[in-house]
Each structure stands twice: as C-alpha cells, then as structure tokens.
Amino acid sequence: MSGTAVVVNPDSFLGARAVAALAAAGWQVEGLPDGSDGEWEAFLSEAVGHDAGVDFIVTAPPTDFPVDDPGAAIATAWRGAKYALPLFAERGEGILLTMAFGPARDGALPGSDAAAESIRLLTAAALLDAGKAGVSLRSNRLYCHRDSAPGAIEEAVRMFGDDRSRFMAGAEITLGSGGTESSTSLHGKSILVTGATSGIGRSAAVELGRLGAWVAVGGRKLPLAEETLTMVRKAGGDGIVVPLDVTEPDAWVAAARGIGDSRGALHGLVNNAGEARNRPIGELSSADLDFLTEINCRGVRYGVDAMAPLLARDGGTVLNIASVAGLRAGPGGTAYSASKAAMVGLSRGFAAQFARAARPIRVNSLLPGLIWSDSVADSLGEAGARAFRAMIEPKTPLGRVGTPEEVASVIAYLVSDAAATVSGQTITVSGGLELGFP
C-alpha cells in the first residue's frame, strides 16, 4: 500500500524513522515541522477538496528522547487525532499512527508514563468520535524506546500503514530496547499452529508458509489438517501434520518429541485452538466453565510447558490467540471471557518468567474481535449469523467484521524477527470492537 503520508515532527528521532520507513515503501511523504494548530490549518486549507488527498498520518513526539514533561507529546498526539477527521472525512477512511516513547522501566520519568497513558485514552476516544462522524479510522499506537532498533521501528511503521493492519484499530505495540533484526521473512523458522484445521488457524498456517516457514499443522481432525498442509505447501512452505488435542498433556509431549526429531528446535508456537460458549450466567453450568477453562487456558499451559525446551534453543516465541472478550466483558460472557482473560494473564506471567532466562522466550497475546468464517456462520445458523453481525458491526469502529486472513497477517509479523523485542503484550486485531462493546 502507498499514497500520501504526513509525518508530524519529521526531523525528530521517531519522526525520522517514520519518514525513512514510508519513503522506502513508496509513500509520498510530507512533513509538518511542529504540528501546531496553525500548521495543521494551513495544511487543511490546501489538502481538503484536492484529488490527491492524504492516506496516512504519523505523529511523532517533538523530542529525541523521552522527557519528564508530558505536555508537548500529549498536544502533538491530540492535534494529530483532531485534524485527522477533517482530512479523512471526504473519503470516509484513513490511517493514523501515533508514535511515542514508552515509559521508563525504572519509573525515572513519571511524565513519560503520564504521556503514554494520556495518549492511550485520547486516541481511543478520538477513534470513537471518528466512528460517530462516519470515518473508518485505523488509529493505532506505536511506543518505542530510545534504543529500539531503527530497522524494527521502521518495519512496525510500515506494518501499521499497509494491509497487514487493515483490521487493527485502537491497537498498541511497544518495541523494547535493543534488537538488531527487522526482517519479516520466516525462512528457516519452524512454527507450530494449533487448531489449524479451519478459520484463523488455517489462515495463519498458510500465511506463515507463504513467508517461508516450516509449519507443524496441529489439530484433532486429521483430514482437515492434511488439507491445511497442502495449502501451506501450495503457498511456498512445508511442514507436517501433528495430531494434537490441546487438552491432553500426553499429546503435547508426543508433539514435542515429533517436532524435535524433525527439526531440532521450535521457533514459534501459535496457540490458536479454542472454544466459545456465550450464554447468560443462569444458563451456564460449572461443566461449561470447566470445558472452556480446560481448552482456552490449561491447553495453553500444557503447550508452553511441553514446547519450552524446544523454544529455548533459539529464543523462540509464543503467541496466544485469545479474544477481545478477555479484555472487555459483555453479556453472556462470564465463562468464555473468564477463560480468555486467564489466557491473557497466563501470557503475561510466562513472559515475565521467561524474560529472566539466558535465551528468553517471548510471549504475547493476540486478541481478535469478531472474525467471520464459514465455521462461525455455520455454528450460528443463517438467521443467528445475520442477527449477530447486525449487533456487532455498529459497535465496531471500523464498521465491519474481520477475516481470518487479517488476523493471520498480524500473527506472521509478531512471530518474525521484526518483533523480536515485543513481549508480555496484549495486542488487538478487532476493528476497535473492545472500545464500543457492549
């Protein structure tokens, strides 16, 4: 994807990284030296109504380092969100990326923490305002450290500006310190995807294969798993089928043994297998809670425990596919939301535990919103599917449901070396649903 992009504070440390990233991707880049009201108003008077238009706005903080006074960073982000709406109003859509410095780990700059929290809420509120105004705004945040790898910053900017993030709105990624790689190629990587027989799991396996990965296709329905493996190979990858019921610890041990014998190491584990039961609490039983907890939480723990020795050999990554239901409760979600929230907490706990290792394994949660597939539609029935979509889409700032392919593209980024410093994070691919639901 390319077009016209505006970068606020293009000569600052983060602004310069954004300019370099976009220029390399073929964007026409225009800079606003300080993003003041006067600059924005002058730019608007020239841009609105012209055929060229603006497709992408990136706001960067004015300083080259995090500072203790949050005022300038907050004001820059706020004005970017404010002026994005009239710029995008004519076409009804646009992309806004708000860049900022992440809080210091030791709390040395409380003002930096203040800026990060303020930007988080103001951009979320502006996203809701955009939806009310009929603008489909892909507004996301990228927090960086001063010593984050320049190449990693640039690749993240490109990801937020291209089709990989087309169902991300209200999402946030923080790049940690250090790191040297910025490649999204998965050549030479061995990755296990559970629940890879349909939906998000199948699309993820195919996308990982397209990028060069060797994919272990995990699932209980072996004929469907074989279909997925065929699709992986047609996309350019390779792999094997791994019979796997994620609720059976012995099945995980056997899967680890088979992958270890075939590949020697595992570079990525995508815990995608899961189930949903949404009904009022009075209609749910303890057996329902136990069923969802077993597959959505314990199944993840069994997998991480079994695969950790293989993942540790090359400093691999775990990506747990949870749900925005684990972030924002809604009616009927007491058991399902509880099980997905447990997955999110488990991810953070494992990330902190593994961070102390000599070869850390990084762990993140990815939270989809309503992702439409044939299996989802079939499970709801024709009438139920229509009613469910009609209820969810108006609550989603992007005004639509997502597709498995849109989640798969973000999975591929997060398991790549470009995201090597991303760990312990909860990242949404939801169209912003969690902001408007229930």
Instruction: Report d(CA 411, CA 191) in Å as an integer.
Output: 11
Biggest CA–CA distance in the chain, Å, is: 66
Neighbours of 222 (CB within 10 A): 14
Write the single-letter amino acid at 224.
L
Contact 420, 181 (CB under 8 A): yes
Question: Any alpha helices (H) in 282-360, and if so which ranges?
Answer: 286-293, 299-312, 334-354
- Say which of 83, 302, 336, 413 is annotated catalytic: 336
Instruction: Report d(CA 85, CA 142) in Å as an integer.
Output: 20
Token pair belonging to 230: 């065929």
Give the torsion sign (CA, 354, 356, 358, 359). positive
Tell me the CA distances in angstroms from 112 to 96, 316, 355, 375, 387, one per residue in order. 21, 31, 23, 45, 44
| Nearest Cα to Cα of residue 84 among 114, 117, 53 | 53
Does the annotation count 336 as an active-site position? yes
Catalytic residues: 336
